[in-house]
Amino acid sequence: MRAVFQNELTNLQERLIQLSDLRLDAIRDATVSFNAADIGLADQVISGDTTIDKLAVELDELAIEILTRQSPVARDLRIVVSGLRMSATLERMGDLARHIAQLTRRRYPDHVAPESLRDVFVQMSAETIRAAELLTRLLRTQDVALANTLIEDDRALDDLHRSVFDLVLAPDWSGEAEQIVDVILATRFLERFGDQAVSIARKALFLATGEWAPAHG
Amino acid sequence: MRAVFQNELTNLQERLIQLSDLRLDAIRDATVSFNAADIGLADQVISGDTTIDKLAVELDELAIEILTRQSPVARDLRIVVSGLRMSATLERMGDLARHIAQLTRRRYPDHVAPESLRDVFVQMSAETIRAAELLTRLLRTQDVALANTLIEDDRALDDLHRSVFDLVLAPDWSGEAEQIVDVILATRFLERFGDQAVSIARKALFLATGEWAPAHG
């Protein structure tokens, strides 16, 4: 019975890593498609999001099953509860990657971002991919130092997000209203992606330490 | 022991309703402050958000405690798991109300929305308040018909959201870049608020029916 339980817990953790990997691919492909106006890649992200959604639902079902049949306690309970909460956030991160790809699709064959903003979006993309990678490593290794790094690093993404506003509102901005709309949505999606990564990192800290308080955010 | 358990479950459900009520006040005050450029009310929403955050954390702690000490099964387990998931979403809705209030604060003494968009934002505000009210009633009564109404009604909010884009991108739009930025953020916050309400309504359906599948969104 105990062995079955441990298998189920391991299975849950593996699915969480798998979900995290898929979401890493999604944000990588979404940002590449955004920066290069690559519609093929954008479409791949859009259609791939259903796989992420499905995996998240299956993970939830498994977590509920474990809670029902095994009544886990202490650290095991924390693993299951964290799994439930993280799956919802990973699924949401997949949605944000899809939103980025949908912006790319809507403006194709044009780029979403005008020339003057390309560089800042390339930098933001690198930051979101880095956050997504850190998160996968964190889930794999459960090394809390990675959680702290991720939380610290999110500031760079926030700074870039603010700089998009500055660029769009600068007196020498010459873009169309449509470009402002798209660019503001895009920067908001990427910033939120970073926030969601931070929120999972906080949940990972909870899992490691048993301190629930910082789970929200 | 059984009586203690039932008390704890009731306590959990009451806290969820309390959280939902606070969040209803938050979106009502936030949208009133937004539509009337009322900075006093905006500040109230901004400072009140910490109470919502605190309540959500306490609710989570109670849910974890119940899982640890009572190992609930079947419907009781669904109540606890739903409580955990709903609290995170209610807390997030509070954040969105705060974001609306922060936009109001940033533009004060000006209105965030230019004249031509005031009416659509008043309508969007009414829709979000209605969704928040339906949600509180749903949590109080657990009447699944309310969940379905809420999910149906969200379309009106989505339509209004799209109409903001149409207005901003219309050839006769004469606003500043700054106004576009604020208006796009505001409409996105309100639309997301509606989405979050739908996601809780789906969780309530899960609670009523035991069908987990539509929990995400």
pLDDT in tens, A88-123: 999 999 999 999 999 999 999 999 999 999 999 999
Answer yes or no: do A84 and B81 touch at CB < 8 A: yes
Give how many domains chain B has, as a whole number. 1
Answer yes or no: do B177 and A178 touch at CB < 8 A: no
pLDDT band at B175 (very low <50, low <70, confident <90, very high): confident
Of B81, B184, B215, the CB nearest to A184: B184
The reported pTM is: 0.93
Residue B73, CB-side half-sphere exposure with 13 Å CA sphere:
5
Note the pLDDT of residue A105: 98
Answer yes or no: do B180 and A177 touch at CB < 8 A: yes
Chain B residue closest in CA terms to A183 = B181
pLDDT band at A214 (very low <50, low <70, confident <90, very high): very low
Distance CA A77, CA A127 (A): 32
Note the pLDDT of residue A1: 62
Per CB-CB distance under 8 Å, the chain B contacts of A56 are: 216
Note the pLDDT of residue A207: 82
Q: How far is B177 from chain A (nearest CA, A)?
A: 6
A32 touches chain B (CB under 8 A): no
B118-170 confidence digits (pLDDT tens): 999 999 999 999 999 999 999 999 999 999 999 999 999 999 999 999 999 99
A184 touches chain B (CB under 8 A): yes
Structural domain boundaries, residue B113:
2-215
Distance CA B217, CA B197 (A): 10
Note the pLDDT of residue A200: 95
B63-119 confidence digits (pLDDT tens): 999 998 888 988 899 899 999 999 999 999 999 999 999 999 999 999 999 999 999
Note the pLDDT of residue B58: 94
Task: Over range A58-73, report the average pLDDT.
Answer: 91
| Residue A177: CATH number of its domain | 1.20.58.220
Instruction: Identify whether the C-beta of residue A207 lies closer than 8 Å to the C-beta of residue A79.
Output: yes
Question: To probe the interface with B, which of A67, A85, A183, A192 has the most B CB atoms within 10 Å?
Answer: A67
B4 touches chain A (CB under 8 A): no
B25-48 confidence digits (pLDDT tens): 999 999 999 999 999 999 999 999
State the average pLDDT for chain A. Answer: 93
B180 touches chain A (CB under 8 A): yes
Per CB-CB distance under 8 Å, the chain B contacts of A178 are: 169
Note the pLDDT of residue B75: 86
- Prior bond of B72 cis (ω within 30°): no
Residue B173, CB-side half-sphere exposure with 13 Å CA sphere:
20
Identify the residue with better confidence: B1 or A27: A27
A153-195 confidence digits (pLDDT tens): 999 999 999 999 999 999 888 888 999 999 999 999 999 999 9
Size of interface A-B (CB pairs under 8 A): 84
What is the torsion angle, in degrees rounded to the nearest 10, for the CA atoms of residue A24, residue B56, residue B87 and residue B93?
-80
A73 touches chain B (CB under 8 A): yes
What B3-8 contacts at long range (C-beta under 8 Å, 24+ apart), as own/partner pairs, is: B5/B66, B5/B70, B5/B72, B5/B76, B8/B62, B8/B65, B8/B66, B8/B70
